[in-house]
Amino acid sequence: MTRFSLSRARSQARLFMVGLLAVWACTDTAPPSAPLMTQPASAARNGARPTGGGGPTVKSTAPDSGTVDSTLSVHVFGSGFDVGSRAQWALKGVPSSKVVTNSTQFVSSTELVANISIAPDATLASYDVMVTTSSGKGGIGTELFVITAKTTALPTLGGTATANAINDGGTIAGASTDAAGSLSAVKWTMQNGSWTVTPLPGGLSGNALGINASGDIVGTNNTALPHRGVRWPASSGSAVVVSCASDVGSDVAQAINSGGTIVGYRQEASGTLQTPVGWLPGQCRQDLAALAVIS
């Protein structure tokens, strides 16, 4: 009895499978297929994107930035690296000729060390890092490395310094203290490939705050109260106080345009109120609200 029931159950199972296949064949719905292989979400984000099946992933770099006109070693982290893997820098997926990979050292399947040289005229931007294995498989980490401008320390008069403005000709205006702590308005110019600092004429204790295309510099004279806005013409060797004797309170000249118009602010004797002001060429200080046109 038991054998008869088991045999009949198996027959019914076979009939059921045949019927099920027949139903699938007569409908538009196909039987379930094998699951699709998808890339992990982390691999689809910046820094982990293989460019082909089974290729390496590039996740991060250390350091993650460098300056133009420099050579440095960069650790590249990811997975799937092998002996012979090569690292390359790119902009929007296009290899850059301004970042040259001198060598790529294999450390492990998750780390490479690339020695790179960045050209002086390399574009300031976020760069992709591409890795190609010895078998030709590639991976790319997008915008993992930032190239920035090179910072240059300006010379001082012996103490500290502040650079406040620069014109298109490359002249910089600012202030510097000497070894004794005395403050002077200064300018920096490039001479024979190096920066030179020069105190502005007049021997004033002050600060240079603005410069125009012609090289005229404006700022403030802090020698005595009230403090006065000052202009250092590029064509003259002396400082010119821009305020008139009748102007009340201290003032500061902050910027000058190519037409010689100066803007800044004045401060009441109490020191609690600052009002925007302007100086038209050859005229006394005026509140900006009272000027119809600043040219």
The pLDDT score that the predictor gives to residue 290 is: 57
What is the residue whose two structure tokens read 């300056």?
67
Amino acid at 148: T
d(CA 180, CA 235): 30
CA angle 176, 179, 184 (to 5 degrees): 30
Does this model's pTM top 0.95?
no
Residues forming a β-bridge with 250? 267
The pLDDT score that the predictor gives to residue 193 is: 85
Q: What is the number of residues in the chain?
A: 295
d(CA 170, CA 210): 13
d(CA 199, CA 144): 43
From first to last of its 295 residues, the chain has per-residue pLDDT tens of 334 443 443 444 443 443 433 433 434 443 343 332 323 333 333 445 565 567 999 999 999 999 999 999 999 999 999 999 999 999 999 999 999 999 999 999 999 999 999 999 999 999 999 999 999 999 999 999 999 998 889 999 999 999 999 999 999 999 999 999 999 999 999 998 899 999 998 888 899 999 999 999 999 998 888 889 999 999 876 889 998 888 888 899 999 999 999 999 998 766 667 889 999 998 999 998 755 544 4
The pLDDT score that the predictor gives to residue 178 is: 95
Going by the DSSP 8-state scheme, the letter that residue 157 receives in this structure is B
DSSP notation for 91-119: ETTEE-TTEEEEEEEEEETTEEEEEEEE-
The pLDDT score that the predictor gives to residue 229 is: 93
Task: Show the 3-state SS of 186-235.
Answer: EEEEEECCEEEEEECCCCCCEEEEEECCCCCEEEEECCCCCCEEEEECCC
Cα end-to-end distance, the chain, whole Å: 113
The pLDDT score that the predictor gives to residue 31 is: 38
The pLDDT score that the predictor gives to residue 291 is: 55
The pLDDT score that the predictor gives to residue 48 is: 56
d(CA 229, CA 249): 11
The pLDDT score that the predictor gives to residue 236 is: 76
